[in-house]
Structure 1
Amino acid sequence: MKKQYLTLAASYLAGLLFSLGLAVSGMTDPARVVGFLDIAGNWDPTLMFVLGGAVITTFIGYRWVFKQPTPWLAGRFALPTKRDLDAKLLGGAALFGVGWGLSGYCPGPAIASLGGVSLPLVAMLATMVLGWWIAKRIA
């Protein structure tokens, strides 16, 4: 039972750090994302630095984590086993990219933005849930 509470606390801490990082870096503002995607116009490179920070942190962190025999709060590492590129992956990635580009919201920043709820945010989250529901029905 104690492990369950530690896992829950670690999940909350990770979510808090993630949302604080998004908010502090300005990534909860869809205009920043759209500005990053507008490479032919008024390009905003800040998203590149946030993504770069995430890649560097993950690169270093995974090297350390995988030296451990097991995760601290799980019996084994849960890693993806599928490595092939198929139509579902490519189609889903394309749909995700179109939705991200049109709304300026990625799912994580959208959820982190719930503190300043707006009609475009609600519309994006509602259609994201609808897309998830449709995908579950046709998969």
Structure 2
Amino acid sequence: MSRVSLATIESTGSNYLHHIKAGHFALDTDEPTQLGGQGVGPAPFDYYLASLAACTAITLRMYAQHKGWELGQFRAELELTRDDEGRMHVHRVLRSDQPLSDEQWQRLLEIVANTPVTKAMREGAVITSARGDAL
């Protein structure tokens, strides 16, 4: 198998606040105060949506550039909800300040349905865990 990404996380001793290293970037994660956290960083599901939003914007920008389309100021708004059966649903709304045709929008919606992160979230991934050596 070839590595796609690598992330590590370390506790801080401050309830749910943790430091993440993703590639060479430093991020923090926490839970909202109503869930016992300090609310000083995005919660795990915030990062879940953010990764999908990032892949959405980057993929569509690449596609538009390839086609010679001007997306201008582009925005993707994502919302994560849970239905009565407990299933998660992500709704994504795309916006641009450029006058794109109905055909262009239809193609962008087809492309966004198949971004790499969209596929990974929709199809799932095999997740394994193992015990490591002491720190």
Structure 2 length as normaliser, TM-score?
Answer: 0.27
Tell which has more relative contact order, 1 or 2 (C-alpha 8 A, sep 6+).
1
Structure with higher strand content: 2
Normalized per residue, the structure richer in helix is 1
